Every structure is written in structure tokens, then in C-alpha cells.
Amino acid sequence: MTTAWAHTNIALVKYWGKRPSAGLNLPAVGSLSLTLDRFGTETSVEIADHDAFLLDGHDVENNEAQKVFLFLDRVRALAGRTEKARVTSTNHVPTAAGLASSASAFAALALAATRAYGLHLDDKDLSILARQGSGSAARSIFGGFVLWHRGTRDDGSDSCAEPLTTSLDARLVVVRTTSGKKETASTQGMEHTASTSPFFTAWVDTHPQDLRDAQAALAAADLPRLGEVMEHSTLKMHATTLAARPGFFYFQPTTIAVLQAVKTLRAQGTGAWATMDAGPHVKILCAPDDAAAIAAAAKAIPGVVGVDVCAPGSAARITA
Ligand code: DP6
């Protein structure tokens, strides 16, 4: 039995939309993220007489399990082996928070399953493999700030992530605004947007400049510049969903209240910038010294159900 841990990551410059590929999960745009120290997935893989998937103590037999078994097929093909396996995963996230992430799930599975089948992939190849389970998982192989290259090749061999060096330290204050599950999963949300939103072309065309700005901000350890481009990328991504047909959105009333509070904090002189993914929660980027005050301000907003301060986290690793 091999066990691996991978942390969740949050994109600062977002991945949203795929380019056509036969199941390879190739992104329409690159992205830049921060791996968190708090939330993540622990996954064990052991060779067994049939494929099975246990999540948080329960047998899973739905589409989620099919995705896991298809992923095992990829690993078996790489390893030239045919035995089945039992996958046991535990999500370390606040209960029913809608934060359980396919990023940490497929990064942990990529690492645990390759080792269980006797493969020792380097980080680049692990990132390419994890990407095929879920795009954002390519980034959770690495710790800290991470760049996932869009790549141009049809076989996906250049669409991998890599860690970025920076002297910037930062915190992400994760503000949970509901306790339910999200309504439109990211895979479906981005597919519907790419095929129906007239704003999607503008998203793809303007994205490379955002990535360059974010990388320059990291190189200069310039938090305000990074925060500004992160908010821009976030609101632009959500604008593509509003213009889809039919349009949809991930905002809840409390989401808007938190976004307003971030603007107010900034107007009062606190460096705070907001991002959201395919769900109603808000993550606030800030300097380490400001995190406690921002968390306290967020907790005081009516409707907020939980607040966690996250620091940069480490790369995926084998734990047993
Ligand atoms: C909004 O990685 O969950 O969080 O590749 O279809 O599994 P699939 O999608 P996924 O999408 C993440 C979208 C996002 C932005 C991001 O993390 O970059």
C-alpha cells in the first residue's frame, strides 16, 4: 500500500476552458496558483483483485469512481501492468464546505498510484499525468506559487506545471459563504462557457498578458500588483459565465457582501484582494501581517459560515 498527500491550490490567474483534445485535458489558457498549507487529500492505493474507490469512509460507485478507475487505467498503461487496485481517499477540508478539490485529489492519486504500480515519474511527468485527471491537479504536484503552462502540442507533453521562485510571502484567507455543494461543476461550467459565451474569445486573447503581469509581480515580490491582476482575472472569468447562454453565476448574496468588504478594507488602506472559483466562497490574498485582521473582519459579515487563514503549502509527497 502506498499513501500520498497533496494540498489544494487556488488559482490567482485562472484556468477556465479547454482546447480540443481526446481526453487529455488540455487548457485553453495557462494559469498561476498558490498551493495552500491547510486543505488537501490523502490517498492510499493498493493492488487488489478488483478496482474500488472509498472516499471519506464510503464506497463510491458513481461517475466520480469511474473517473478514478479511468485514471488507474492510464497509470496501468504507463506501467505496463494490468492488476486492479483499491483507492482509499480522505479529504481534509471543513465538512460539507464545497471546498473538496479535484486538484488535491488527482495530484495525490497520481503520486500514490504511480508508486503502487512501481513507477517513479519525475515531477514534470507527474504533473502531466495529474492534469489528465483534473486540470488544476497539474499544479498541486508542486508547493508555493506554481505556473501551469498552456503548452501547444496536441499530445499534451508541454502542458505541465512548474514551481516559481519568489521572495513574496502571502496568505489566502478562505471565507466560506455557504455550507452546500456548488451548483455547476467547473468542468461543465467551463465547457458551457467556451461553447456559448461571446466573451470567451476575449478571455483567451487577453489571458497571456495577465499571466505575464502576475509573473512580473512575483519576480518583484509586489503583492499589490499580484492582487490587482488576480482580481482582474477572477472577475473576467466570472464575466464569461454571465455572458454564456443560458448565463449562470457562482455568486451568492454573502459572496457579494464579502467582495464589498474587501473593497472597503482596501479603501481603508489594508492590502486585500479577492478571488473566487467555480463556487460561492471568496479567498482573500493579503500580507501575512494583515491576515488576522482580515479574517476577523470576514467573520463579522452576516452569512459567513467559516474563515481559515492559509499559508503557502508544500508539494505533494509520499507519506507511507
Ligand atoms: C475555476 O481543474 O476543476 O477552479 O480540468 O475539468 O477537472 P477540470 O477542471 P478543474 O477547474 C478549475 C477551474 C477553476 C480555476 C482554476 O483552478 O484555475
Over residues 238-297, the pLDDT tens digits come to 999 999 999 999 999 999 999 999 999 999 999 999 999 999 999 999 999 999 999 999
pLDDT attached to residue 180: 72
44 Cα–ligand 1 center, Å: 23
CA 150 to chain centre: 15
Q: What angle do CA 50, 317, 9 make, to 5 degrees?
A: 100
Res. 182: pLDDT tops 70: no
pLDDT attached to residue 181: 67
Q: What percent of the chain has pLDDT over 70?
A: 98
41 Cβ below 6 A of ligand 1: no
Angle between helix 102-116 and helix 63-79 axes, rounded to 10 deg: 40
Distance CA 260, CA 270 (A): 14
Quickly state the pLDDT bin for 22 (edges 50, 70, 90).
confident
Which of the pair, 16 or 62, is modelled with greater confidence? 16
294 Cα–ligand 1 center, Å: 26
13 Cβ below 6 A of ligand 1: no
3-class secondary structure, 97: coil
Burial of 181 (0-12, 13-18, 19+ CB in 10 A): exposed
Terminal Cα-to-Cα distance of the chain (whole angstroms)? 8
Res. 202: pLDDT tops 90: yes
The residues facing 101 across adjacent strands are: none
pLDDT attached to residue 251: 95
241 Cβ below 6 A of ligand 1: no
Distance CA 162, CA 144 (A): 10
pTM for the model: 0.97
Q: What is the pLDDT of residues 221-231, one digit of tens each?
A: 999 999 999 99
Q: Where are the alpha helices (DSSP H) in the chain?
A: 63-79, 102-116, 123-133, 137-140, 186-196, 200-219, 223-242, 253-267, 291-299
| Domains (range + CATH), the chain | 2-166 (3.30.230.10), 171-310 (3.30.70.890)
308 Cβ below 6 A of ligand 1: no
The closest-lying atom of ligand 1 relative to the alpha carbon of residue 237 is 1
* Residue nearest ligand 1's atom 3 by CA: 186
Quickly state the pLDDT bin for 188 (edges 50, 70, 90).
very high
Q: Cβ distance 121 to 85 under 8 Å? A: no
Q: What is the pLDDT of residues 122-145, one digit of tens each?
A: 999 999 999 999 999 999 999 999
Q: What is the pLDDT of residues 69-106, one digit of tens each?
A: 999 999 999 999 999 999 999 999 876 566 778 999 99
278 Cα–ligand 1 center, Å: 8
Q: What is the pLDDT of residues 103-121, one digit of tens each?
A: 999 999 999 999 999 999 9
Distance CA 223, CA 168 (A): 7
